[in-house]
Amino acid sequence: MKYCILPRIKKICFETITLSVRVNSLICLGKLVESLDKWIIIDEVLPLLHSIPSREPAVLMAILGIIKVAMTSTKSGGIPREILATRVIPFLVPISIETSLNLNQ
């Protein structure tokens, strides 16, 4: 899955200019995260989320959903707290003050 599906999802997410395609590719990735190993999430998925160029509310909500699933995934044991402290939280802080998001989001 790491060498077959993830690169295709990454390619779709980066090469499209259509918002709905990007959001649906992220939703697909979110559904796959539950079955991925912890190290694939850390080495492949988190860097992919960091490098997504768009900041539309739908994309941000999809990214947050993926992070939430990755943190609570029972198969991978969740994301280790060191990774949370050094990679995830510094990424989430600027997103939390994004002006395009409303209070509920």
Mean pLDDT of 85-103: 85
Write the pLDDT tens digit of every residue in 25-39. 999 999 999 888 888
Residue 79 has pLDDT above 90, yes or no: no
Tokens 């160029």, residue located: 53
Question: How far is 27 from 88, CA to CA, in rounded Å?
Answer: 19
Write the pLDDT tens digit of every residue in 36-78. 888 899 999 999 999 998 889 999 999 999 999 998 876 767 8
Q: What is the structure's pLDDT at 65?
A: 93
Question: How far is 87 from 42, CA to CA, in rounded Å?
Answer: 9
| Domain parsing of the chain, residue ranges | 5-96
